[in-house]
Each structure stands twice: as C-alpha cells, then as structure tokens.
C-alpha cells in the first residue's frame, strides 16, 4: 500500500496542493489526486495582503491539475492516507456524499490525515472533528468549532492520526510530520503483509 489521496476541486489552492503532492513523491509515495469528476481543475493562489487589514483573501489564477480519479470511484481501503487541500473548493466539496464516505473511512480507520486552511470544512461537515484539536485559517475557526472541534492557532497541530496547519505558510511545519506518519504506516503494512 503506497497510494495517498489528495482531495481537490475547482479553486483548490495551488501551493496547498502541489507542496504535499511533490513531498509525497520525494518519499516514494504515489499521490492520487481525487475530485468530483476525473478531469482537469483550475487552481488558485490565495493571500491576505497586509494592507487589506487581514480581512479579505485576494485570489489569483493558479495552475491546473488533473484529477486521477472521481470520488465515486475511490476505494478508500486501497489508500494509506489522505490530504485535504485548501482554497475555495472545500466550500462546495464538503456536500459531496462520496467524499463524505471517503473522509469518514480515514477517520474511522485511524489512517494518517493532513488538512490545511479551508480543507477543515470537509471533515467538519462529515462529522469527524468532534473532540479533535486542529489548526486552520482563522476565518474557518467557526466551521471547526460549531462541529465540535477545538481551534489551535499554531503552524502544526497533531491530534492522533490527524495533522493540520493554518495556511500554506505552515507547510514546512506540518507536512513532514504527516509524511513520517505515512512512512510508519507503510512500514507497518509491509511488515504485516498487508497489501
């Protein structure tokens, strides 16, 4: 078992998506990009300019990315872990019943999960954050807390199998922790003979 899901949709944040994608490859994992349909998606670049008083996110056009698989075709038991990318995509992705199914699998089976920025909206909607400590962009604090989670304003928050960061600025702090979890999970499946 070497495959790891990266969840995306239209207006997924570029750096949130590509940083973990290439980090997974560096450590010998196979990143599998999953979206509502198997097709190409437009990514965006997000920042909150300092002269905008920290209130509004400015959005720029980013690269595009191809989804390798549609949510409906994902068999989550075939994947070692999952990454929930940020951007505007989670605002509508969270209502996808197939994605809710996938999300719940990773929380129920205690597999390595990473989440950044608006990505929290997906596990929150799926009912998976109750009692969990997480980092997210401050504007999503409400989404986390109304669903029973605890907001922690730090660059890396680890709660069991769940690792989270606030924005792409935190990638250097939390992604390596998640990668280590994936390596341990891979070694565990190899030693137990699980395929």
Q: What is the CATH number of the domain that holds 166?
A: 3.40.50.880
User: Is the pLDDT confidence value at 58 over 80?
Assistant: no
Span 22-38, average pLDDT: 98
3-state secondary structure string across the chain = CCEEEEECCCCEEHHHHHHHHHHHHHCCCEEEEEECCCCEEEEEEEECCHHHCCCCCEEEEEEEEECCEEHHHCCHHHCCEEEECCECCHHHHCCCHHHHHHHHHHHHCCCCEEEEHHHHHHHHHCCCCCCCEECCCHHHHHHHHHCCCEECCCCCEEECCEEEECCHHHHHHHHHHHHHHHHHHHHHHHHHCCC
Question: What band does 194 get if pLDDT is binned at 50, 70 and 90?
Answer: low
Q: Taking residues 48-63, what's their average pLDDT? A: 77
Give the domain range for residue 29.
Answer: 3-192
pLDDT at 40 > cutoff 80: yes
The reply to whether the predicted model has a pTM over 0.85 is yes
Q: Active-site residue among 118, 169, 171, 173?
A: 118
- What's the pLDDT score for residue 133? 98
Report pLDDT for 54: 65
Q: Tell me, what's the pLDDT at 165?
A: 98
150 pLDDT band (50/70/90 cuts)?
Answer: very high
Q: Give the rounded percent of residues in the chain with a pLDDT score beyond 70.
A: 97
What does the mean pLDDT of the chain come to? 94
Residue 195's pLDDT band (cuts 50, 70, 90): low
105 is catalytic: no
Q: What is the number of domains present in the chain?
A: 1
Report pLDDT for 190: 83
């Amino acid at each position: 078992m070497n495959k790891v899901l990266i969840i995306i949709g239209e207006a997924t944040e570029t750096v949130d998506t590509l940083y973990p994608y290439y980090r997974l490859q560096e450590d010998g994992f196979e990143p599998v990009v999953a979206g509502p349909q198997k097709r190409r998606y437009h990514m965006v670049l997000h920042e909150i300019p300092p002269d905008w008083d920290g209130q509004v996110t400015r959005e720029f056009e980013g690269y595009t990315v191809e989804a390798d698989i549609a949510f409906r075709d994902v068999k989550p038991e075939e994947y070692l872990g999952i990454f929930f990318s940020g951007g505007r995509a989670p605002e509508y992705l969270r209502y996808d019943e197939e994605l809710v199914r996938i999300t719940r699998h990773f929380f129920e089976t205690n597999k390595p999960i990473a989440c950044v920025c608006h990505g929290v909206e997906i596990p929150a909607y799926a009912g998976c954050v109750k009692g969990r400590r997480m980092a997210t962009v401050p504007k999503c604090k409400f989404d986390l807390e109304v669903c029973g989670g605890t907001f922690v304003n730090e660059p890396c928050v680890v709660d069991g199998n769940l690792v989270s960061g606030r924005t792409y600025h935190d990638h250097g702090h939390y992604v390596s922790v998640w990668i280590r979890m994936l390596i341990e999970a891979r070694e565990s499946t190899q030693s137990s003979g699980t395929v």
